[in-house]
Structures are given as structure tokens and as C-alpha cells.
Structure 1
Amino acid sequence: MDYVPISTVAPAAVERLLDRAFGPGRHTRTAYAIRAGTEALPALSFAAVDGDALVGTIQCWPIRLAADDGVDVAMVMVGPVAVDPGRQQDGIGRALMTRAIEAAEAGGCDALMLIGDPEYYGRFFGFDAAATGAWRLPGPVERRRLLARGTGIPDKPGLLAPRLPAVPRSVSA
């Protein structure tokens, strides 16, 4: 098994894996609305390749909490973690998560969040819902599945939204 930057894998192959792992209706999920208009962070997104077969991916996205106090808090949304259905239980997802978290920490990111199973992501990766109770989302979510980790996680009300690049202002002559 090789773990490589996701940028080295054909985007169409990633999309096919995501469809196999989550189904074609995946685009309607709240996670897609949170990261709408952004691109996955290349330094934090990886693929698991076994020979010529793509068997797993993880993507991380630039998002923010648009806090009610007017402060935007930059965060990284982890996921989706996709593993080929025939290869689940092989530890591929866990290895991808470990790589993404290690890369985020090495890059100075101290605010990670995801929507996922609290028993799994809490036990193995230290994610919990302690600070996420007042966050609002652009769609439905089971509150117990809204998880975060890191010292930069805001414990205040606000809306999770994409963190889009700033648009340069035109300068009048």
C-alpha cells in the first residue's frame, strides 16, 4: 500500500471512489454545503493506492466559523474519508486520518472539525463535540456527530461556512 498526495491521482478516479463509498446522493449532504466553492487543501489530502487501484482517499478543506461576535475563525474540515467498500476494515481509513492529522499539525493547524461517528473519531483521534454545541450549519446534522479537535477550536456561536480566498480589490487610477 502506498499513501500519496491526492493530487497525483486522477480526479475522476477519486469521484468514482467517493460514489462507491457514499453513493451518488453524497452531494446533498451538509458537509458539501459547508465547503462549497473551496478546493481541497493539497498538503492535507491523501490517497491510498494498492498497485494500480485507488482504494482510499481523504480530503481536507478550508472552512471558517463565522462567529456571531464578528470574528472569523479559520479551521480545516476533515473528510470525506473514503475507502473502497471491499477494503473497509483493512485500516486504510485510519492510516489516511493519521496522515492528514499529522500533516495539519506539522503545518500549524490547531483547529480541525468533521462530521462523523463520535465513538470512532473520539476514541482513535481525539475528536469530540465539547465546543460545537452553538455552531450552526447550512443544513441538517446530528449534533453528536459534529466533532472538533485542537486548541484553536472556537467555543462560541456562529455559522460554519467555506473559507474562500479573498477577492482582490481593484484599484482606481
Structure 2
Amino acid sequence: MIQMVPIDTIAGEAVEQLLDRAFGRDRHTRTAYRLRAGTQAIADLSLALVEGHALLGSIQCWPVQLEGDDGSVWPLVLVGPVAIVPERQQEGLGRRLMEAALEAAQGGPPLTLIGDPEYYGRFFDFDAAATALWRLPGPVERRRLLARGTNVPALPGVLAPRRHTSAAA
């Protein structure tokens, strides 16, 4: 039976091995990792799927902020990575993790992610409408920088790690 559990109940090494299998060992060079630098995943929004003793998948959410060129600061939550062991992909496990994280994130800051707009737009209402003027600490395909939620800031600024957060977001 597949169970969803808080990711902090899973050994960190097991999560890292899953991420290596799903995204490759060079994943740390990606812009999303720069956005997470120096922060801790938000425990209430970071989950894992297990079957028996096997880790099947995980989702992590991270505190980030948009530092507006006008001096404003907008707290956001960076969703991802969403990882599923390769042999269990296409079974809806990633979608199950996303739905649980989105439900847990309700009422919190707007969400952002770097991902496939056709998938995340179609199933989870993410889009790039508000993110066109955001700058990131590395390269990104503009169409893949997505956001979701009320009060997504559509203004120029830098997306950066948020180091001071509450437990929920």
C-alpha cells in the first residue's frame, strides 16, 4: 500500500538518491538550486510517497521571495523538485504529490515553480502571466517560470531565497 508521509520522516540520503535517479547528479547546477540555497524545505509542504520501505517519490517546497525593484518584498513558495523513481513514472504519483502539496499550501503565499507550462498549467493552474519581469540567479526559459495563487506580484524584481520564514511557509 502506498502511503504519503512527511518528507522529514525519510532519511535525507534516500531523498538525495531519488533526486539523482530522477534528475541526474548534475542537478545541483540548475537555477532552482540557487533559489533554494541556504534555506530549509518547508516541512508542512514537503512530502514523500512510500510503499513498504521503498521511497517512490517526493515533493519539496521552499521559501523564496520576490524582491521588487520598487523595494517591496513578496514572500513566495518555490514548488519542486517533484521526483518519482523512474520505474514508477506515469502512474499518477507525481500528480498525487502535487495535489497534496497544493492543498497544504492553501491560504499561504503564492506558489512558483520552474516546469513544463503545458502540464502545470493544464492540471494545476500555473502560468507565466505574472513572472515575465522576474529575474533569477541563473538561466531559465521564461515560459517555464510559472506562478499560481492570488496576489502573485507581476512586477520587476529578483527572485531569491527567503531565509526567515514561519513553519507553514
TM-score tier, shorter chain, comes to over 0.9
Aligned residue in 2 for 1:116 = 115
Runs of 4+ displaced beyond 2 Å: none
Aligned residue in 1 for 2:130 = 131
CA contact (8 A) 2:18 2:83 kept: yes
* Correspondence 1:1-173 to 2 at 5 A: 1-105=2-106, 108-165=107-164
Q: Secondary structure at the match of 2:34?
A: helix
| Counterpart residue identity of residue 148, structure 1 | A
Alpha-carbon distance between aligned partners in 2 of 1:13 and 1:149, rounded to the nearest angstrom: 30
Q: Secondary structure at the match of 1:49?
A: strand
How far the C-alpha of 1:165 sits from its partner, in A, is 2.0
Question: 108-117 vs 19-28, which deviates more?
Answer: 108-117
Alpha-carbon distance between aligned partners in 2 of 1:21 and 1:4, rounded to the nearest angstrom: 19
Alpha-carbon distance between aligned partners in 1 of 2:42 and 2:63, rounded to the nearest angstrom: 7
Task: Point out where structure 2 has 5 or more consecutive residues left out of the alignment.
Answer: none
**Taking structure 1 as the reference length, what is the TM-score of the superposition?**
0.93
Two-structure CA RMSD over aligned residues (Å): 0.9
Task: Point out where structure 1 has 5 or more consecutive residues left out of the alignment.
Answer: 167-173
Residue-pair matches, total = 164
Alpha-carbon distance between aligned partners in 1 of 2:108 and 2:121, rounded to the nearest angstrom: 18
Alpha-carbon distance between aligned partners in 1 of 2:151 and 2:10, rounded to the nearest angstrom: 31
| Counterpart residue identity of residue 36, structure 2 | R
Alpha-carbon distance between aligned partners in 1 of 2:36 and 2:55, rounded to the nearest angstrom: 24
| Paired-residue identity, % | 65
Q: If you compute each CA radius of gyration, which structure gives the higher value, 1 or 2?
A: 1
Alpha-carbon distance between aligned partners in 2 of 1:163 and 1:110, rounded to the nearest angstrom: 12
**1:108-157 deviation digits (Å, cap 9, x = unpaired):** 21400000000000000000000000000000000000000001210000
